[in-house]
Structure 1
Amino acid sequence: MYDISNLSNLPQLRSLSPATMAAFENFDRAAMAPGTIPRRYKELIAVAVAIATQCPYSLEVHRTNAENAGVTEAELAEAVFLAATMRATAAIAHGTHLVGPRKAKRQNTP
Structure 2
Amino acid sequence: MTYYEEDDLQRFSEVGKHRPDLFEKFMTWYQACQEDGALSRREKALIGLAVAHALQCPYCIDSYSQSCLESGSNMEQMTEAIHMASAIRGGASLIHGLQAHKSVNKVSM
Q: TM-score, normalised by structure 2?
A: 0.87
Q: Deviations over 1:2-45 (max 9, x none)?
A: 12201233232212121221222122122222100011010011
Deviates more, 1:8-17 or 1:82-91: 8-17
Matched residue, 1:19: 21
Deviates more, 1:40-49 or 1:78-87: 78-87
Kindly name which structure, 1 or 2, has the bigger radius of gyration based on alpha carbons. 1
Q: For 1:15-94, what aligned pairs fall within 5 Å after superposition?
A: 15-94=17-96
Paired amino acid for 1:67: L
Q: Could you list the runs of 5+ residues in structure 2 that have no partner in the other structure?
A: none
Q: Deviations over 1:55-99 (max 9, x none)?
A: 111111111111011101111111221111111011011111221
- 1:48 & 1:85 partners in 2: Cα distance? 10
Q: Could you list the runs of 5+ residues in structure 1 that have no partner in the other structure?
A: none
Paired amino acid for 2:75: E
Aligned length: 107
